[in-house]
Structure 1
Amino acid sequence: MPVISSPLNPRVALLRELHTPRGRKKHGLFLMEGPHLLKELLDRAVLPLEVYYQPDLLARTAEGQALLERLLTGAVAKQALIQVSVRVIEALGDAQTSQGVVAVLPLAAFSYEEVAARRPPALRPTLLILDRLADPGNLGTILRTALAADVAAVLLTPGCVDAFSPKVVRAAAGAHLALPLAEEQQWDEIGRRVREHCGPQLRVFLAEAGAPQLYYEQDLCQPFALIIGNEAHGPSAAARALATSQLSIPLANGVESLNAAMATGILLYEAVRQQRQRRSTEKQ
């Protein structure tokens, strides 16, 4: 296939639509940008539908050079590998400085069910619920942290930023590959999933600045759900209705609240600490 050199090429125009939620929904596709994410895909045997690459930009780093060699020696089907100009790869990507490669992937391969089926079974007490989270950087960082903390799954309510937007995908740094993620979840469905996760003892903690119960005073070893509310407006009425208790992170020096991603990380890793401590104690 000849090199695509013009950003006005119809193929490029179609892929540019994937920068919008409407375009992703219309075509059932999304983009992953950069050699690190594409390497993660290939390592997990999740093959992209197409890979657009600019060899000079991709070869600027050792990671990019290794990926380029892998692509050119058959890591993806030959017809799926498409060389483009610098202008085209910059038009396809969302990052300020292009890393030289963009992969096109089907949304269906990253459904909750598909990702859960690929994940090794394990005891995962934490279910994370994100209520109308608005900032792509926050969402991506939370997804990355949730995977690192081995959260069971992440549920997103209507009104959350699109989890497959380029900014979220980039910030999540590969979390979409291994973390079960359900978007546009209505609260009755969230309630059903919470009951299924927690069993007979419903434990739903709502993160709320100023709540009298401190996060490290809670038992985070038994199955529980954690709700993180909107950055500016806090949790919704439906979130409050589902919660069985509120918890907070102590703050000093007049600080009213923490960034949503930072707060989520603190709470998730307290759960990790408690769970590891309990396993260590049980082994003794």
Structure 2
Amino acid sequence: MTLITSPSNPRISKLQTLHTARGRKKNGLFLLEGPHLLEALLNAQLWPHEVYYQPALLRRTSEGAALLERLFHTPELSASQLIEVSERVIEALGEAQTSQGVVSVLALDALNPSIIQQRRRPASRPCLLILDDVADPGNMGTILRTALAANVERVLLTPHCVDYYSPKVVRSAAGAHVALPVEVNMSWEAIAERVADHCGGQPRVLLAEASSDQMYYMQDLVNPFALIVGNEAHGPGQQAHALATLAISIPLANDVESLNVAMATGIILYEAVRQQAVQRQPGL
């Protein structure tokens, strides 16, 4: 096994460039920090390019110790891909305030949405979610995690959204990258084609907008539809409005102007989950 003890090691310096979008694009790699994300990769048989680990930190928990043993007994990972590092190095690689002892490196092209879709169980997934220029990485990650939990069909990201592979997005999404099909840098022409395919040629595109008098819970969220949510500061853009067939809103009291975009998305997605449950069990 390789052992690296200095944060100034050239190998570590190269990995630190993956904290920037430019570095990720140049190297074709991104980072996943923590045991939970590594376990998600292994469970999905997405083999990391490399794994940097600190044994003492991992062994602080029984889960971490079990993961370490699993790493050593995963035949798809060679000894050269498992790199032991000092605590100083693992802290330099990660962004979390307290390191959990492991950082994985994965190729950008490993998360092919078509392959991820093939691994999913067959199910009715009426919602196609479109994020229009969502800028905050915490919001993006929370939305992705919620979209996976609400079992959306897939997520489409417009070109000016925050980088899908940003460490903060990856950390906030808590494993959604591995299990949720996401298409990035989508033009509005390509989005319109996806919507038409998803909706069977009769697009229904709901646009979340606080000023609408059409309440989200009054809409049919059982049959195929697309949902657009927009940028935190200026809301959905002109092209989003052009594609939309109906603007919907969430009722707000006490002069509250709007909700956080991740919160609003979750409210609408779980109304869709509720409606589907009622359809399956009319007595609910």
Q: TM-score, normalised by structure 1?
A: 0.96
Report the alpha carbon displacement of residue 247 of structure 1 after superposing the two structures with TM. Answer: 0.3
Q: Distance in 2 between matches of 1:180 and 1:224?
A: 17
Report the alpha carbon displacement of residue 218 of structure 1 after superposing the two structures with TM: 0.2
Shift of residue 121 of structure 1?
2.7
1:157-179, Cα deviation, whole Å (9 max, x unpaired): 01100011100001101001111
1:3 match: secondary structure: strand
Counterpart for residue 73 of structure 2: 73
1:225 aligns to what? Answer: 226
Q: CA deviation at 1:181?
A: 0.3
Deviation at 1:94, TM superposition (A): 1.4
What is aligned with 1:243? 244
Q: Which amino acid aligns with 1:62?
A: S
The residue type equivalent to 1:143 in the other structure is: L
| CA distance in 2: counterparts of 1:61 and 1:157, whole angstroms | 40
Compute the displacement of 1:116 (Å). 1.8
Structure 1 residue runs of 4 or more that deviate by more than 4 Å after TM superposition: none
* Corresponding residue number in structure 1 for 2:260: 259
Q: For the residues of structure 2 that align with 1:170 and 1:40, how far apart are their CA atoms?
A: 12
Residues in 2 aligned to 1:176 and 1:187: alpha-carbon distance in whole angstroms: 22
Kindly indicate whether residue 120 of structure 2 is the aligned counterpart of residue 119 of structure 1: yes
Partner of 2:19: 19
Aligned to 2:177, what secondary structure does the other structure show?
helix
State yes or no: 1:234 paired with 2:239.
Answer: no
TM-score (norm 2): 0.96
1:217-240 deviation line (CA, Å, top 9, x unaligned) = 000001000000000111000000
Aligned alpha-carbon RMSD (Å): 1.4
How far the C-alpha of 1:60 sits from its partner, in A, is 1.4
* Residue matched to 1:82: 83
List per-residue Cα deviations over 1:159-212 (Å, max 9, x = no partner): 100011100001101001111001111100000100010113210000000211
How much does 1:72 deviate?
A: 2.7
Displacement, 1:46?
Answer: 1.4
Aligned residues: 283
Please say if residues 129 and 156 of structure 1, whose CA atoms lie closer than 8 Å, have aligned partners that are also in contact: yes
Match of 1:197 in 2: 198
Partner of 2:217: 216
The 2-side partners of 1:255 and 1:22 are apart by 38
CA drift at 1:68? 1.4
Alignment of 1:8-157 (within 5 A): 8-74=8-74, 76-157=77-158
Give the aligned residue type for 1:48. Answer: P
The one-letter code of the counterpart of 2:50 is E
Superposed CA offset, 1:89-131 (max 9, x none): 1111111111110011111110222222222232210000000
SS of corresponding position for 2:271: helix
Deviation at 1:58, TM superposition (A): 1.3
- 8 Å CA contact retained: 1:36, 1:63: no
Alpha-carbon shift at residue 27 of structure 1 (Å) = 1.2
Q: Measure the CA separation in 2 of the matches of 1:93 and 1:113.
A: 29
Distance 1:256 1:87 in 2: 45
Q: Which amino acid aligns with 2:48?
A: P
2:147 maps to amino acid: A
Give 3-state SS (helix, strand or coil) of 1:210's partner: coil
Gaps of 5+ in 1: none
Which residue in 2 is equivalent to 1:177? 178
